A and B are shown apart, each in its own frame.
Chain A
Amino acid sequence: MHTATAVTHPVTSSGFFERLNTDYHETALRAFMVVVLAHWVEHLLQGLQIYVLGWPVPEARGALGLVFPWLIKSESLHYGYAVVMLIGLWTLRTGFTGKMDRFWWMTAFWIQFFHHIEHGILQTQAILGQNLLGRPVPTSLVQLWVPRVELHLFYNTIVFIPMAIAMYYHLFPPASETTAPRCACAVEA
């Protein structure tokens, strides 16, 4: 019954997610990667503004933050992006059917899960108007030891690297991979 419904009404939520991980997996991954890379550009620009141009840290807000300073100062934007990442990693996971690509994709997911908790802690402080341990600004757990700019370069790297490795194995599956792919992402050798 359920199967018949899914076939005759493909725009059910399960049908939608199924297609995202099969027919549209490549398109979905490309779209997701545009979002991830745009976020990276912001962080790399922020790094350049501080490390090369010598801007004061509060003034170094990437590109978006120059036009919309309030946007970058808001914890909601950062938390929102962390949630989008988490949803993207979770939603697109079943398209990674190999041993290697699935392992690295889920590694990225679990690291992002912790990263999202950190942003949740920041967002909670912003909402409550009370900062962790009386700090002058919202502060995440690891930020108690590591400055925010360097910490976020670190987090973004350790989430992105396993993602990149997963996509590499997804596009170029090793010969040892025996599971049949559900999507057409793999590049013919």
Chain B
Amino acid sequence: MAITGFVALLLIIVTLGWIWTTRHQPPALRMASHVVLTIAALAGVFAVAKVWRDSPRVR
């Protein structure tokens, strides 16, 4: 549950970061920011999926 809560918070920050970088950064930096923010979000989703899949009970 704690991991899920953390990842939810992470996804909110990443989404806000994606929107902000789209509006405020030049194209080259924006692309780089989008790549790292996307990887961070995917890492979070991966963690939640892994933990829930292997969970013997609801966490």
Contacts and interface: CB of A to CB of B under 8 A. Distances in A.
Nearest to A143: B32
A150 B33 contact: yes
Residue from B19, B20, B36 whose CB has the most chain A CB atoms within 10 Å: B36
Interface string A35-67: 000000000100110111000000000000000
Interface size on B, as a range, is: 20 to 34
Nearest to A47: B13
A4 B16 CA distance: 58
Interface of B: 3, 6, 9-10, 13-14, 16-17, 19-21, 25, 28-29, 32-33, 35-37, 39-40, 43-44, 46-47, 50-51, 54-57, 59
A161 B9 CA distance: 13
Nearest to A146: B32
A154 to B, nearest CB: 4
A52 B17 contact: no
A63 to B, nearest CB: 15
A185 to B, nearest CB: 15
Contacts of B19: 51
A153 B32 contact: no
Nearest to B6: A164
B44 A44 contact: no
Contact of A154 (B36, B51, B55): B36
A154 B32 contact: no
